[in-house]
Amino acid sequence: MPAKSEANRRYMRPNEASHAVIGCALKVHSALGPGMLESTIGACLFYELTTCGLHVQHQVRLPVLYKGVQRPNAYRVDFIIEKCLVVEVKCVEKLLPVHKAQVLAYLKLTGLKLGLLLNFNVPHLRQGIKRVINGPESEL
């Protein structure tokens, strides 16, 4: 069976994509546990996300326009999934307000409505999942 072309592909809605990502993240966390580097987690999560057939953009550079000058590589998002979900990976002692602000900035810059902030440095991943919404819940 031929692969779907990019133009004919049906992308998931944000809530559907977040459910799939969390499933993949749980697999990675179960296999590796806490204490790993973000780069290791990111590489393993990329493998899981692509293996399950998700459309994945990894290490996406985002520009910022400041006083008429575009800064092309101002930010780098860990993942954009299904063209509708920002995913930021952390391996920190605890999530801080600045981490949520970072995801919110990515959502504003991309125009997307939903982000997942995933902290893998926790005993159980459910303790490290934070949804960040930029807009009405009804759009997800």
Q: What number of other Cβ atoms are within 10 A of residue 38's Cβ? A: 16
Is pLDDT of 105 > 80?
yes
Is pLDDT of 3 > 70?
no
Confidence (pLDDT) at 139: 75
More confident residue, 109 or 5: 109
Task: Give CA–CA dist 76/60, Å, rounded.
Answer: 5
Q: How far is CA 55 from CA 21, 36, 72, 74, 90, in A?
A: 11, 25, 23, 23, 21
DSSP code at position 68 = T
Residue 41: pLDDT band (50, 70, 90) is very high
